[in-house]
Amino acid sequence: MTASLPSLPLPPSRRTLVRGAAAALGAAGLGLLGRRAWGADNDKPITLSWTGTGLCLSPIVVANELGYFTKNNVKVEIINFAGAVDQVLESIATGKADISLGLIHAWLKPLEAGFDVKVVGTAHAGCIRVLAPKTSGIASIEAVKGKTIGVSSPAGYGRQFFSTALARRGVNPDQDVQWRVFPADQLDIAQKKGEIDVIADSDPNLYLIEKRNPGAYLEIANILKGDFKDRLCCIVAARGELVKRNPQQVAAVVRSLHQAADFIAENPNEAGRAVSKLFPKVAQQDLSSILSTIGYTHHAKRFDLAKEIESYAVDLKQVGVLKKSTDPARFAKFLTVDVLA
C-alpha cells in the first residue's frame, strides 16, 4: 500500500483568507501608515518589496542588475520577503516599503478596506497555469467540479487565480472543489498518489513538473489565455502619500520596470543569466525558456489601467471577496493612478 503524502494544513476559504489579510493590514496601517514623509528629498532611496520567489517579477532583478533605475535617476532599495505574500502586503501598509509588486488578486480586498495605496502600473500579464493529468479525463475548467486542487500555498497565486477562473465557469471555489496544500516540488507526486486531481501553480514549478513528466499533463487554464488574455496579472502598487508628494520618483520606478520587461521580452537568454542566482535549482536555459512565455510586453499595449482593475474587481465581487456594495468602476477609478499617462 502506498503511503499518503503529508499535506500542509488545509487552507481556509478564499473569503476568510483575504478578509484576514485585510484585517491585519488595516490594523498595521492605523498606527504606522504615513510614518515616513516624502518631500522633495530625492536622495533617499525608494524601498521596493517583493516575494523574491516569483520568476515573473524578474524585471525587478533585471532593472537593478542592468542599471535601469540609475538611468532613470531613482535610487531603489530592494527588500526580499522570501516568498511571504502577506509580508509584502504588510510592508507597504506599515511604511517598510514604498512600492511593492504582486498578483492583482491578492491586493484588491486589502485595498477595498481603505488603506492608502494606489495601483500605479502593470508588471506583466500571465504567470499562472493549471495542469491536469491526461489520463484523468479532466480537459476543462468545468470538469474540475467535485475534484481536489493542489496548490503550494493556502493564500498563494495559484488558488487566487483559479478561484476566479472557476467562478467564471459556474463552479463555486469554496463549495464545489477541495483545496490541498503541498510543497511545490511535491505537487506532481501528490497527484500521482491520488491525493489531488489537478495542480494550480506558477512557473518555474509547473515548467519543472512538465519537464519531469514529459507528455503527462494537459494545461486546462492559463492566465495568458481565454478569459484572461490581454489582462494584467501582477501590478505595481505605491503608497498613496508617495504618489502625491513625489509622482516623478514613482514614475521613474515604473518606467525602469517596464524597460526591464522590454529587455526580458527581447533578450530572454540574457535575462535568464541575470536572474539565475535567485533560482539556483533551475537550469539557466529553463529560466530563459520560461521568461520567453510571460507577457512582459503587456504594458506597451497601453490598456486603460482603471478598466483592467475594474474587470478584476467584478470577478472578485462575484466570488464574494469584495463587498456586494462595492461599485467596481468607482473602486477602480479611485484606486488607480497611471503615473506614466
Number of domains within the chain: 2
Residues 116 and 241 in one domain: yes
Q: Using CA atoms, how far apart are residues 116 and 95, in angstroms rounded to an integer?
A: 11
Last residue of a domain, one of 208, 228, 248: 228
Q: Are residues 305 and 315 in the same domain?
A: yes
Amino acid at the residue 71: K
The answer to whether the beta carbons of residues 129 and 202 sit under 8 Å apart is yes
* Per-residue pLDDT tens over the stretch 109-125: 888 988 889 999 999 98
Q: Using CB atoms within 10 A of its CB, is residue 315 exposed (0-12), middle (13-18) or buried (19+)?
A: buried
What's the CA gap between 322 and 324, in Å, rounded? 7
- The answer to whether position 60 is within a domain reads yes
Q: Give pTM, 2 decimals.
A: 0.82
Model pLDDT for residues 72-120, shown as the tens digit of each residue: 999 999 988 766 677 888 888 888 899 999 888 888 888 898 888 999 9
The average pLDDT across 296-311 equals 86
Is 221 domain-assigned? yes
Task: Please name the residue that has the C-alpha cell 480537459.
Answer: 139
Q: Do 179 and 266 have their domain in common?
A: no
Q: Which domain holds residue 110?
A: 15-126+232-335
Q: How far apart are CA 264 and CA 270, in angstroms?
A: 8
Q: Report yes or no on 157 lying in a domain.
A: yes
Q: What pLDDT is recorded for position 271?
A: 96
Residue 21 three-state SS: helix
Q: What share of the chain is helix, strand, coil (3-state, %, to 5)?
A: 50, 15, 35
Q: Are 102 and 124 contacting, i.e. CB atoms less than 8 angstroms apart?
A: no
Q: Which phi and psi angles does 168 have, rounded to 5°? A: -65, -20
Q: Residue 302 carries which side chain, given as an amino acid letter? A: R
pLDDT band at 21 (very low <50, low <70, confident <90, very high): very low
CATH of the domain at 256: 3.40.190.10
> Same domain for 114 and 245?
yes
As a whole number, the mean pLDDT across the chain is: 85
Q: In whole angstroms, give the CA distance from residue 72 to residue 74.
A: 6
42 pLDDT band, cuts 50/70/90, is: low
Residue 171 lies in a domain: yes
Determine, yes or no, domain membership for 2: no
Predicted confidence (pLDDT) per residue in 55-68, tens digit: 899 999 999 999 99
pLDDT of residue 227: 79
113 and 236 together in one domain: yes
d(CA 151, CA 311): 24
Higher pLDDT, 130 or 278: 130
Residues 121 and 200 occupy one common structural domain: no
Place of cell 477562473: 165
Q: Are residues 221 and 132 both part of a single domain?
A: yes
Confidence tier at 144 by pLDDT (50, 70, 90): very high
Q: Give the list of residues 6+ apart from residue 37 with CB closer than 8 angstroms, or none.
A: 241, 245
Determine the pLDDT at residue 86. Answer: 76
Residue 279 belongs to what H/E stretch? none
- Do 50 and 108 share a structural domain? yes
Spell out where the chain has E strands: 46-50, 76-80, 99-103, 117-124, 128-133, 148-151, 178-181, 198-202, 217-222, 234-239
Among 109, 103, 143, which Cα is nearest to 125's?
A: 103
* Rounded distance between C-alpha atoms, residue 79 and residue 111, angstroms: 21
So what's the pLDDT on residue 154? 81
Is residue 97 domain-shared with residue 245, that is, in the same domain? yes
Residue 84 covered by a domain: yes
Residue 196 is given by DSSP the state -
